[in-house]
Amino acid sequence: MISRILAADLPAHAGRRVRLAGWLHRRRDLKSVSFLVLRDRSGLAQIVLREPLPEAAEETVLAVTGTVVLNDQAPGGAEVTDPEVEVLSAPVAPPPFDLYRPVVGGTLPTILDHAPAALRHPRLRAPFEIAAAAVAGFRAALDGLGFVETSTPKIVASATESGANVFGIDYFGRPAFLAQSPQFFKQALVGVFERVYEVGPVFRAEPHDTARHLAQYTSLDAELGFVEDHRDVMAVLTAALTGMHASVAERAGSATALLELDVPEVPGEIPSIHFAEAQELVARHTGEDPRGEPDLAPAHERFLGEWARREHGSEFLFVTGYPMVKRPFYTHPDPERPEFSRSFDLLFRGLELVTGGQRLHRHADYLAALAARGEDPEAYGGYLAAFAHGMPPHGGFAIGLERWTARFTGAANVRQTTLFPRDLHRLTP
C-alpha cells in the first residue's frame, strides 16, 4: 500500500498515483461525474469520480487512491482522478449543522453542545491552531531566556488569590480547593530555578455568565528572580509576546489566512504610561475625570488603546503603577510613591490582556502587608514559609491563553477560543 499524503501536498505529486485519507467534506453528483471534496488536517482535495459513490454521507471517513492531475479550477490547484475509494468509517448521524458551508450555521450553544463535530469546521478549528502556535512561541522565547518549565499542584489546601470563587474538592475526606493560579508555586520556585514558567489550567468558580468568564482557562505564567523592578518583568513579557506573534506567523499561516488576520507587530519596546498620567490623559481628552479612582474603566482603557495607536503606532500599551489598593497583597509598592505599585497591565487593542509586576520578597514585608490588610498570617503559613529562607527580588505575569486568542482572532466570545469550555452553566461535552 502506498503511504498516505496530505491534501496540501497534492500539486507536488502531479501525474503520480497517491493515497489520501480524510473526511467526505462535500459531494456533488452530476449526470456523468461526481465530485467529492475530501478534508484532512492540511486542507481540502477534490476527487473526480466517473460513477457516483453510493451511500456515503458527509463526514464519512474515506481513503482514496488515485492519480493527481493539475487543475486550476480545483481547490489547491490539483485534483485526483481515477480513484479507488474505500470507506474507513461511516457516520451514524449528521451533525446538526453543515460543515461544508463557509460559516457554520447554528447558535453558539448548539455549536458548543456539538463541539467534537463543530470544531472540524476549518474556521472554528483555526483559532486553536493559532493558540497552539502562540504557546510554542511563548515557550521558545522563555526557553531562550533560561527559564525552566514546571508543573505544579492544581489541588491546594487554601486559596491564595481571594477567598471567594474557588471550587471545593473532597480530598480523601478533607476539604481542599482547585488552584486559582500557580502564584505561590512559581514564586517559591524562583528560589530554586530563578526563572520559571508554566502553561496549565487554572480554575475560577466565578458565578458570572459573560462573554469573557470561564471556570477553567489556560494560564501562561512566568516568574523571574533578580529583577531591579517591574520593568525587567515587562521586558520578558515583551519577549514572550514577540515570540508568540512570530510563531503564529510562522506556524499558523493557513489559519491566519483563513480568518483574514494580520499578525500585529510587537514593538521592540512597548510604549508605557504610568497610571496617574493615564488618568490625566483621560481627563484632558475625554471630558471625564477619573482621577482618584483606583482603577481604569473599560471605556478609558479603550481610549488609551486608541491613544497608543495614534501616538506610538502600537496596538500594545503598558499601564504601570496601579494603586496598591486594587492589587494583591504580594504586590511590591513603588518605594517613592507607596500608594502606587510596581505593577502593570498590558492593554492590547484597548483591552486588558496581561497583569503582572514585581512582588514582595522579604518575609517581614509579607507580614506587614498582611497585617495592613487585616489578614491573619496564620492562614498564609505555607506561602510565607517559602520567603523565610532568602528570596531575591522577583516578579512575573500571567497571560490568559483563551482571552489572548479571542483578542487576536477578534472572537466576540471567549468560548469560541476554548476547547470544550466550562462555565456557570456548561459542564459538557
List binders of a copy of itself among 331-350 (CB under 8 A).
Answer: none
Q: Which is nearer to a copy of itself, 134 or 278 (CB)?
A: 134
- The three three-digit cell numbers of residue 322, written as one number: 496601579
Q: How far apart are CA 231 and CA 200, in angstroms?
A: 25
In 32-174, where does DSSP find H-type helix? Answer: 108-113, 115-118, 122-144
CB of 163 to a copy of itself, least distance (A): 15
Q: Which is nearer to a copy of itself, 214 or 270 (CB)?
A: 214
Q: Does 150 bind a copy of itself (CB under 8 A)?
A: yes
Q: Which is nearer to a copy of itself, 183 or 314 (CB)?
A: 183
Q: What are phi and psi of 305, to 5 degrees?
A: -60, -45
**352 annotated to a ligand binding site:** yes
CA dihedral 211, 212, 218, 224 (to 10 degrees): 170
| Binding segment toward a copy of itself, per CB under 8 A, in 47-55, 72-80, 212-220, 407-415 | 212-220
Contacts of range 251-258, beta carbons closer than 8 Å, 24 or more positions apart: 251/132, 251/133, 251/136, 251/137, 252/126, 252/129, 252/130, 252/132, 252/133, 254/43, 254/126, 254/129, 255/125, 255/126, 255/127, 255/129, 255/130, 255/133, 256/126, 256/130, 258/122, 258/123, 258/126
Q: Does 200 bind a copy of itself (CB under 8 A)?
A: yes
- The three three-digit cell numbers of residue 1, written as one number: 500500500
CB of 87 to a copy of itself, least distance (A): 10
Q: Does 417 bind a copy of itself (CB under 8 A)?
A: no
**205 annotated to a ligand binding site:** yes
Q: Does 164 bind a copy of itself (CB under 8 A)?
A: no
In sequence order, the 6+-apart residues with CB closer than 8 A to the CB of 124 are 104, 111, 118, 416
| Binding segment toward a copy of itself, per CB under 8 A, in 152-160, 233-241, 261-269, 294-302 | 152-160
Q: Does 388 bind a copy of itself (CB under 8 A)?
A: yes
Q: Does 389 bind a copy of itself (CB under 8 A)?
A: yes
CB of 194 to a copy of itself, least distance (A): 4
Q: How far apart are CA 79 and CA 275, in angstroms?
A: 58
Q: What are phi and psi of 406, to 5 degrees?
A: -65, -45
Q: How far apart are CA 49 and CA 47, in angstroms?
A: 6
**164 annotated to a ligand binding site:** no
Member of 201, 264, 271, 323 binding a copy of itself (CB under 8 A): 201
Q: Which is nearer to a copy of itself, 84 or 265 (CB)?
A: 84
Q: Which is nearer to a copy of itself, 155 or 257 (CB)?
A: 155
Member of 30, 55, 72, 92 binding a copy of itself (CB under 8 A): 92
- The three three-digit cell numbers of residue 122, written as one number: 476549518
Question: Is residue 144 within 8 Å of 191, Cβ to Cβ?
Answer: no
Q: Does 32 bind a copy of itself (CB under 8 A)?
A: no
Member of 145, 205, 246, 263 binding a copy of itself (CB under 8 A): 205
Q: How far apart are CA 236 and CA 112, in angstroms?
A: 35
Q: Does 289 bind a copy of itself (CB under 8 A)?
A: no
Member of 109, 151, 285, 311 binding a copy of itself (CB under 8 A): 151
Q: Does 211 bind a copy of itself (CB under 8 A)?
A: no
Half-sphere exposure of 174 (CA within 13 A, CB side): 6
Q: How far apart are CA 240 and CA 253, in angstroms?
A: 19
Q: Does 94 bind a copy of itself (CB under 8 A)?
A: yes
| Binding segment toward a copy of itself, per CB under 8 A, in 69-77, 113-121, 259-267, 284-292 | 113-121
CB of 112 to a copy of itself, least distance (A): 12
**228 annotated to a ligand binding site:** no
- The three three-digit cell numbers of residue 212, written as one number: 469573557
Site string for a copy of itself, 36-75 (x = CB under 8 A): ----xx-----------------xxx--------------
- The three three-digit cell numbers of residue 281, written as one number: 490623559
Q: Does 314 bind a copy of itself (CB under 8 A)?
A: no
Angle at 347 between CA 233 and CA 287, to 5 degrees: 130
Binding-site positions read: 161, 204-206, 212-214, 352, 355, 359, 400-403
